[in-house]
């Protein structure tokens, strides 16, 4: 059995779970919830960075981060499934994944600013710097030629938007009509998007 260390609200963990479901690999994966803030968590031995997701292979080797894990799962499923083999589709899908993960990273750093620092220490300038990445990233995604394909790029994008819905009240929806339509269509095509949704 493969062991996935993750937490329900992680956008990167959600990306891995959706990929695993799309590839029919969930029966080979046990999910063990990790608390990244607990200094005694085994996660810190499994991934020295103390980050989720991490995937523990049957021989004990640990894969991180999420991009490596989805690459591995695609390979397990025969290759070329959620990571297109054809370079003309592969690199745009990978760049969209990087863009979407970057949006999620910048959103997460704003959440962490609130979670890890006392109120008096929090920097509005730092939060605005991260929010700039979110806004420019959303503008680039809004202009992206999305064609209904399900691959690592669109899965990562759906997870980043889902995280903005969860932690930022869906404020992105007002100015990004194409992304709203994308997410609705994605949710209809990919049932695991709903089954991995959390509300808190």
Ligand X SMILES: N[C@@H](CCC(=O)N[C@@H](CS)C(=O)NCC(=O)O)C(=O)O
Binding site for ligand X (CB under 6 A): 10-12, 36, 50-53, 65-67, 101, 108
The closest residue (CB) to ligand X is 65
165-169 contact pairs (CB < 8 A, 24+): 166/9, 166/198, 166/199, 167/107, 167/111, 168/107
Distance (Å, whole) CA 189 – CA 148:
9
Nearer to ligand X, 72 or 185 (CB): 72
What backbone torsions phi and psi does residue 11 show, to the nearest 5 degrees? -65, -30
Shortest Cβ 78–ligand X spacing (Å): 23
Min. distance of Cβ 188 from ligand X in angstroms? 25
CB of 41 to ligand X, least distance (A): 10
Q: How far is the CB of 93 from ligand X (least distance, A)?
A: 15
C-alpha–C-alpha distance, residues 1 and 27, integer Å: 9
Q: Which is nearer to ligand X, 88 or 200 (CB)?
A: 200
Q: Judged by CB, which is closer to ligand X: 65, or 165?
A: 65
Return the closest-CA partner of residue 55 out of 2, 102, 106. Answer: 2
CB 66, min distance to ligand X, A: 3
Nearer to ligand X, 126 or 178 (CB): 126
Angle in degrees, 0-180, between the axes of helices 152-168 and 87-116, rounded to the nearest 10: 20
- Spatial distance between the Cα atoms of 69 and 89, rounded to a whole number of angstroms: 20
71 vs 135 by CB, closer to ligand X: 71
Distance in Å, CB of 6 to ligand X, minimum: 8
Q: Is the dihedral of CA 154, 107, 137, 142 positive or negative?
A: positive
Q: CA–CA separation, 145 vs 137, rounded Å?
A: 14
Instruction: Enter the tokens of residue 2.
Output: 């493969």
Instruction: Write out the two tokens for 79.
Output: 């290759």
CB closer to ligand X out of 68 and 180: 68
């Amino acid at each position: 059995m493969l062991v996935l260390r993750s937490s329900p609200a992680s956008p990167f963990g959600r990306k891995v779970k959706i990929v695993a479901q799309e590839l029919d690999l969930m029966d080979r994966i046990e999910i063990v919830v990790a608390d990244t803030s607990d200094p005694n968590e085994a996660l810190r031995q499994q991934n020295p960075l103390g980050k989720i997701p991490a995937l523990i292979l049957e021989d004990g080797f640990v894969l991180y981060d999420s991009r490596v894990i989805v690459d591995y799962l695609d390979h397990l499923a025969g290759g070329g499934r959620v990571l297109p083999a054809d370079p003309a589709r592969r690199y745009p899908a990978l760049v969209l994944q990087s863009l979407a993960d970057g949006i999620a990273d910048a959103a997460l750093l704003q959440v962490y600013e609130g979670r890890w620092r006392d109120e008096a220490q929090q920097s509005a300038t730092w939060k605005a710097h991260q929010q700039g990445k979110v806004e420019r990233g959303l503008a680039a995604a809004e202009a992206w030629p999305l064609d209904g394909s399900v691959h690592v790029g669109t899965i990562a994008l759906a997870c980043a938007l889902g995280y903005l819905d969860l932690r930022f009240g869906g404020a992105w929806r007002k100015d990004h009509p194409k992304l709203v339509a994308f997410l609705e269509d994605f949710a209809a095509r990919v049932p695991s998007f709903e089954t991995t949704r959390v509300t808190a």
